[in-house]
């Protein structure tokens, strides 16, 4: 039996936490639990790569943050569309809940290769 990844345990705990469960914007089962069953093996490997990239972004200088965002963009691009919200929610694991929308907009923005360092803060 394979044990859940750290990010998966964190998402599960966040879903049970009354103060954060309403914030999670991921697919849900009928019983309200996170629908992690939709994740393919590739999606899980992508999330295994993305979780440390958010850590890198959180503790990095401007160049490191740009590199982390570029890496997340490439990894997210090979995930199923329905699995991508999991990558967004993992931002709060490394940073804060209020950072999710701002940082995810940098990942999904068109023509993001033109971002200046000041745009990533």
Instruction: Give per-residue pLDDT as tens, 2-60.
Output: 445 788 887 777 777 766 645 667 766 676 666 677 788 899 899 999 999 999 999 99
Residues 20-54: b if buried by 16+ CB within 10 A, e if exposed? eeeebebeeeeeeebebeebeeebbebbeebbebb
CB 6 within 8 A of CB 51: yes
Instruction: Flag whether the pTM goes above 0.85.
Output: no
Q: Give the model confidence (pLDDT) of 45-99 as tens digits.
A: 999 999 999 999 999 999 999 999 999 999 999 999 988 988 998 998 999 888 9
28 bridge partner residues: 34
């Amino acid at each position: 039996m394979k044990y859940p990844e750290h990010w998966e345990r964190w998402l599960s705990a966040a879903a049970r936490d009354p103060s954060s469960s309403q914030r999670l914007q991921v697919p849900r089962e009928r019983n309200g639990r996170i629908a992690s069953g939709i994740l393919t093996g590739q999606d899980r490997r992508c999330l295994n790569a993305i979780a440390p990239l958010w850590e890198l972004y959180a503790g990095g200088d401007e160049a490191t943050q740009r590199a982390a965002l570029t890496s997340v963009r490439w990894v997210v691009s090979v995930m199923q569309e329905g699995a991508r919200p999991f990558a967004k929610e993992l931002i709060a694991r490394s940073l804060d809940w209020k950072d999710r929308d701002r940082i995810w907009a940098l990942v999904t923005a068109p023509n993001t290769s033109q971002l200046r360092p000041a745009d990533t803060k």
